[in-house]
Amino acid sequence: MNTETFGQRVKRTTRKVVRIVIISAIVIGIIAFSIAYWGVYDDGVRAGTILRISKRGVVFKTYEGQIDIGTFGGLKNVNPIAQTFDFSVEDDQVVKDLQTVALTGERVNLHYIKRYVGFPWRGDTRYFAIKVERISK
């Protein structure tokens, strides 16, 4: 014979449900953060000359760069702001490569990825340079 009262059964069931909800919320939160932090939304290549590469920030020092993609052919009514592309850099070797080509003014192919979410300790943009190729003339 079961001596457990209805109130005790409700209490035990409620604890189980609350525990399952909390664990599910934590797991979903970890998955969402992982996708936002490591997930890649877009990847591509932009060609141009590096205008600047600098270390910026007050609390978080990150490398930020800008490439002049220029215009090809007779594009009319092009906004000059659209001719540059801002990006962040996480890899030290890519920073060194960018600094080298920025000083020489060479045209480069800048391989980049775009992340879902920007975090202040990673950079000012959601675009990250991952590789620099010098364009042979």
Tens digit of each residue's pLDDT, the chain (137 residues):
566 787 888 888 899 999 999 999 999 999 999 999 999 989 999 998 999 999 988 899 999 999 988 765 555 565 555 588 899 999 899 999 999 998 888 899 999 999 998 888 888 899 999 999 988 76
Tell me, what DSSP letter sits at residue 80?
A: G
pLDDT tens by residue, 47-87: 989 999 999 888 999 999 999 887 655 555 655 555 888 99
pTM of the predicted model as reported, rounded to 2 decimal places: 0.74
Q: Mark whether 94 and 30 lie in a shared domain.
A: no
Measuring CA to CA, which residue among 10, 43, 27 is closest to residue 130? 43
33-64 burial, b at 16+ Cβ within 10 Å, e below that, comes to eeeeeeeeeeeeebebbbeebeeeeeeeebbb
Total tally of structural domains belonging to the chain: 2
Range of the domain at 18: 1-38
Q: Mark whether 63 and 130 lie in a shared domain.
A: yes
Q: Mark whether 18 and 56 lie in a shared domain.
A: no
How many residues in the chain? 137
Q: Mark whether 103 and 53 lie in a shared domain.
A: yes
Q: Mark whether 32 and 7 lie in a shared domain.
A: yes
